[in-house]
Structure formats: C-alpha cells, structure tokens
Structure 1
Amino acid sequence: MATAREIMTGGTECVGEKESVLEAAKKMTGLGVGALPICGTDNKLKGMLTDRDIVTKVLGAGKDPAGCTAGELAQGEAVTIGADDRAEEILRTMTRHKVRRLPVIDGHTLVGMVATADVARSLPDPDVGYLIEALSTD
C-alpha cells in the first residue's frame, strides 16, 4: 500500500501563528483551500485552522478576525502523519482523531497534506468507504 508521501498534496503553505485570522482567511481564499496548518516562529506545526474554525470560533463568537491571531485558535498539538507512514496508518489516524486533513511531516518539516480527497483518489473503495463512514459518525 502507498505511503503518505505518495498520496499527499505537496507544497502546503502555513499560516503563521501570529498572523491574523483575517489574513489566514484571505490566504485560504487565494489558495482555494478550507484549512491551513498553523506554523510557529520556530517553523514547527502548532495546529490546524479551518474555515469552520473561523466561522464558529471567531465570527460566531463576535470576535474581530483582524484582531485575533491564528495561534489563538491552535488547540494543542496538531495530529500529523509521517511522510513515510503507510496508508493503513493514515486511515487509522484519520479515523481515530476524526480529522479530514492530516499534515504530512518529514522530521519536523511540513512537506504536504493528506485530505480525504487524496485518500479517495489513491486507495481502494472499501478503505475509503470505511474512512468516510467513521468521519461521518459522532
């Protein structure tokens, strides 16, 4: 079975932990993505920021997206996958943590992202079906 490096989408960009949520939203729009990894000044992954986070935790809470930083929305350590981890581990990790996107790291360096769409394109239908089912339940 394939590795994360073979399945991932490379060239993933980060939003800096000190960048505003407004800047992050503009970056998402420009890149045509719904999530960005949050990277610290030390270039280590601090978390993930999704379009849903922006809506529910910033706009829905009445906060100013220009005055709120991406780092404020980082929740603990990000769930990641190693670049050379096999597809079975991707499926286990996504299922266990109920995440639709996994940053792919090589050491401490972000090298890409595996999303459910990448899994769907790369793995057999039954594996994809189990993943989608697991992500769709509470």
Structure 2
Amino acid sequence: MTQVREIMTSDPACVDSSDTVAHAARKMADADVGALPIRGEDNQLKGMLTDRDIVVRVLAEGKDPVALHASELARGDVVTVRPDDDVAEALDKMARHQVRRLPVVEGQRLVGIVAQADAARHLDERKVGGTVESISES
C-alpha cells in the first residue's frame, strides 16, 4: 500500500483568503501551478482556487481581480485526503469528485497536495489511466 505522504508535494504554495485574485494569479504563474489551496486567517484550509475559477468566474464575468478576494471564490466543501490514506483511495476520490488535485490535511491544517500527475509518476499506469478517464468524463 502506497500512502499519500509518499507521493504528495509537502508545504505547497497557497493563497491566503484575504489575498486578491490578482495576487493569487501571480502566485500561480510564479509556482507554475493551476490551483492553489486557500488558507484562512486561522491557518485552516478554506477551499481551492483554480486558474479556471479565475477565468470563468472573474474575468469572463467582468469582475475586477484586484478588488476580489480569494475567499470570495471558495465554494462548497473541499475534498481532502490525509497523509496516511492509501493512494488508491485518493485516486478514487479524484475520480468520484472529478478533481485533479487533492489537498492533504491533518485535522484542518494543510500539509501537502497530491495531484493526478504525482500518482502518474508513482503508480501503475492502468489505475491512473482509469482515474484520468473518470475525471475527464464530465
């Protein structure tokens, strides 16, 4: 059994809930990532912000990314895994919720992020391929 902690990115880049969307976009560009966890004032995970959120929910709607805060784009419950979870369980969650990245939390504290690409580098191609297919079905 491979645990999430074995393949996750520890201490991932994240954005504070009070940061502007423009700041978050710059942070994504600097880190070369398509999503950032949103961390609240209490240092707990509040949501995920994706490049797609910025394009579809901010730019396409004519909103000002300098005036909008990251917390305003956080919605719904965030799907997470724990460091000791089996990677197969993480892949099942990705497929079920059609997401490519999962924050890794201990309690509500963000300790890492595991992406579909991390699994692809470490696991059997057939299992990862099935997950990619499930995520892409939407």
**In which range does the TM-score fall when normalised by the shorter chain?**
over 0.9
1:13 equivalent in alignment to 2:13: yes
Instruction: Provide, for residues 2-37 of structure 1, a one-character-per-residue CA deviation record: whole Å limited to 9, x for no partner.
Output: 111001111202201111000100111111111100
Q: Give the 3-state SS of the residue equivalent to 1:62 in structure 2.
A: coil
TM-score (norm 2): 0.96
How far apart in 2 are the matches of 1:90 and 1:9?
14
CA distance in 1, matches of 2:78, 2:137: 21
Tell me whether 1:60 sits opposite 2:51 in the alignment.
Answer: no
Give SS of 2:46's match: strand
2:95 is the counterpart of 1:95: yes
CA distance in 1, matches of 2:77, 2:14: 15
Distance 1:45 1:34 in 2: 17
CA distance in 1: counterparts of 2:17 and 2:98, whole angstroms: 23
SS in 2 for 1:82: coil
2:36 partner letter: L
% identity of equivalent residues: 54
Render the CA deviation track for 1:27-68: whole Å, top value 9, x for unaligned.
111111111000110111111000110000000000000001
- Specify the alignment match of 1:39 in structure 2: 39
Gaps of 5+ in 1: none
Q: Secondary structure at the match of 2:134?
A: helix
TM-score, structure 1 normalization: 0.96
Number of residue pairs matched? Answer: 138
User: Letter of the aligned partner of 2:14 in structure 1?
Assistant: C
